[in-house]
Amino acid sequence: MKKKLTVIKVGGKIVEEEATLKQFLDDFARVEGYKVLVHGGGRSATKIAAQLGIESRMVNGRRITDAQTLQVVTMVYGGMVNKNIVAGLQARGVNALGLTGADMNVIRSHKRPVKDIDYGFVGDVDQADGEMLAQLIDKGIVPVMAPLTHDGQGQMLNTNADTIAGETAKALAPHFDVTLVYCFEKKGVLRNANDDDSVIPHLNEADFKKYVEEEVIQDGMIPKLENAFQAIHSGVSKVNITMATAIDGTQGTIIEK
């Protein structure tokens, strides 16, 4: 019987504010069993870039990552945000280790091909090394993964944190009974974006497609849910989309096949 593992992805909006970060780390430290944390940090990157006189350009919520911006996100995601989280977890008795995809070659990706938009140094994941991560986890280490990968040729790449969480969960599914939790500032997937209590408690793929057609589900929630269904189809036992203050799996939206 596989041991239980929880992969939790938390948005930058939560980890970039002192009060919400403190609450989240308290909650994460209380999660029982093996666990992995994946974090964002986009607002911090935008702020630091502005201080350096570098303009941040976004298309459909995705950051255009030119050479200067890549330097900023590598510094902010892999450095400031990641190490603040690691230090906070160590203070709570969690033996955390900060990682990018380049560390131990845990996530390899390729530069996104130019189609309608040139996203620059943005990576699309090719593979995640579940065996290497499992060895760390078995030793009682909690990986804290920044949204950065590499191409194996010395090039760092900015990579969507939701994708990293999904790929990490899929890579660990052969080794553990994996639950993937996407947490953010809403209570779950909402029927009405203006009603925080209109949570859809269970969501299967057929309903997801229907809600997208009806524009009930739209914008950034679509790729998040696409990642969730890919994870379910790749051996992840359970996916939960919920608030950052409810990562115990009892609330939010449960994704089903």
User: How many whole angstroms separate alpha carbon 54 and alpha carbon 76?
Assistant: 14
Greater model confidence, 125 or 214: 125
DSSP for 108-142 reads EEEEPPPSSS--BSBEEEEEE-HHHHHHHHHTT-E
Q: Which pLDDT score is estimated for 253?
A: 93
Query: 12: pLDDT confidence band, cut at 50, 70 and 90?
Result: confident
Question: What confidence tens digit (pLDDT) does each residue in 136-168 have?
Answer: 999 999 999 999 999 999 999 999 999 999 999
Q: Which pLDDT score is estimated for 161?
A: 93
Give the largest Cα separation in the chain, rounded. Answer: 54
What average pLDDT is seen over the chain?
93
CB-based burial label for 116 (10 Å; 0-12, 13-18, 19+): exposed
How many CB atoms are closer than 10 A to CB 2? 12
Closest CA to 67 of 122, 105, 113, 12: 122
Q: Which pLDDT score is estimated for 77?
A: 97
Residue 31 has pLDDT above 90, yes or no: yes
Question: What confidence tens digit (pLDDT) does each residue in 181-216 have?
Answer: 999 888 999 988 888 889 999 999 999 999 898 888
What are the residue boundaries of the structural domains of the chain, listed by start?
Answer: 4-255
Q: Which pLDDT score is estimated for 196?
A: 87
Is CATH 3.40.1160.10 the right assignment for the domain spanning 4-255? yes
Question: What confidence tens digit (pLDDT) does each residue in 53-93 have?
Answer: 999 998 877 889 999 999 999 999 999 999 999 999 999 99
Closest CA to 15 of 161, 122, 158: 161
**Which residues is 65 bridged to in the sheet?**
120
